[in-house]
Amino acid sequence: MTRDIAPLRQALEGTTEGDQADIYTLLVNWNTSMANALEQSGDRFRDAFWDYLEETIELVASAAVVEDEPDWEFLQDCAEAYPPAEGDHHCTVLIANILGRCVIRTRIRHDVDAIPTWALDYLGRITMENDKDAAWEESGAFGWGIGHDEVAVADRTLARAEADDEYWASSVLKHAIFADAHDAIDLYERILQSLDTMEDLHHVEGMQRILDEPFPQMPRYWEPTDELNSPGPLSADAIEQLLRVLGENIHPKRLQQFNDMIQFDLERAATEYGELDSV
């Protein structure tokens, strides 16, 4: 056992599945071992991170659900101990993954407003700069909160898109299209119409996954179809709404140029909703 990750290995071996007290210890030792590995080199950190991420996440996940429902109190304790964009800890990716799972479960089984505001706020505060790429990728589950009465998911996503974080907005849209297609397309239209954004079809490229997949690809290491019914497929009304938004906001020649690369009918968006005579 290499010395840098010895605390983590010992914690993994000593963790009982479903034991929340053990998880607090596991998080401490994950953080210690990742910091030790990073002190050696970036390559060593990446190796240790990916070697142990799945096993660690699955143990945290086993303690986060009690009697088939998220234990939000336990999760909030973990989230408050390791907040995003604060300090130099390495636990955001673990917490974001589990929060993403629980947010999705709650949205599908109950209602969007049953999702705790603090959980959405945690996901919405994760950034590439402060929390690195793995946690940033997990945070797209913020999109499952679209339409929440107390968390302005659409407004916050638009604000980050306008602040040069359009790729994060795209990851949110990948999730939001599953949660509420009409609200997601409304958000997409606002992004297209903003003077402070640049991307257009990149967002559709991500959203089109709903046509082939029952759920988004994140959170990692989770098969939601084992326990949840897919919210799809995309309704005919939602598809028509999307084609209208595309046709009214993107030049028809650009839509036609990329028609073969996108599963949505960009040609029809251009001809039925665009101004083909525009230059």
Give the per-residue pLDDT at 78.
Answer: 95
Give the per-residue pLDDT at 53.
Answer: 96
Give the per-residue pLDDT at 279.
Answer: 47
- Give the Cα separation of 24 and 217 in Å (integer): 27
Query: Up-side HSE of residue 260: CA atoms within 13 Å toward CB?
Result: 1
pLDDT of residue 198 exceeding 90, the answer is no
pLDDT band of residue 196 (cuts 50, 70, 90) is confident
pLDDT of residue 1 exceeding 70, the answer is no
Q: What contacts 102, CB < 8 A, 6 or more positions away?
A: 64, 65, 70, 72, 75, 119
Closest CA to 105 of 154, 71, 153, 155: 71
Rounded mean pLDDT, 253-278:
86
pLDDT of residue 273 exceeding 60, the answer is yes
Place of tokens 């991420």: 53
Rounded mean pLDDT, 219-232:
92
Give the per-residue pLDDT at 276.
Answer: 60
H/E stretch holding 201 = helix 201-207
Rounded mean pLDDT, 28-41:
90
Q: What contacts 270, CB < 8 A, 6 or more positions away?
A: 246, 247, 252, 253, 255, 256, 259, 276
pLDDT in tens, 117-140: 999 999 999 987 776 768 889 999
Strand, helix or coil for residue 89: coil
pLDDT of residue 164 exceeding 80, the answer is yes
- Give the Cα separation of 73 and 62 in Å (integer): 15
195 or 249: which leads in pLDDT: 249
**DSSP per-residue letters across 116-161:** -HHHHHHHHT--HHHHHHHHHHHGGGGGGGTT-SSS-HHHHHHHHH
191 or 3: which leads in pLDDT: 191
Give the per-residue pLDDT at 232.
Answer: 76
pLDDT in tens, 73-113: 999 999 999 999 777 889 999 999 999 999 999 999 999 99
Peptide bond into 83 cis (omega under 30): no
Closest CA to 80 of 132, 119, 138: 119
pLDDT of residue 216 exceeding 90, the answer is yes
Strand, helix or coil for residue 69: strand
Give the per-residue pLDDT at 218.
Answer: 93
Strand, helix or coil for residue 172: helix
Give the per-residue pLDDT at 100.
Answer: 97
Average pLDDT of the residues of the chain: 91
pLDDT of residue 277 exceeding 70, the answer is no
pLDDT of residue 2 exceeding 80, the answer is no
Amino acid (1-letter code) at residue 210: I
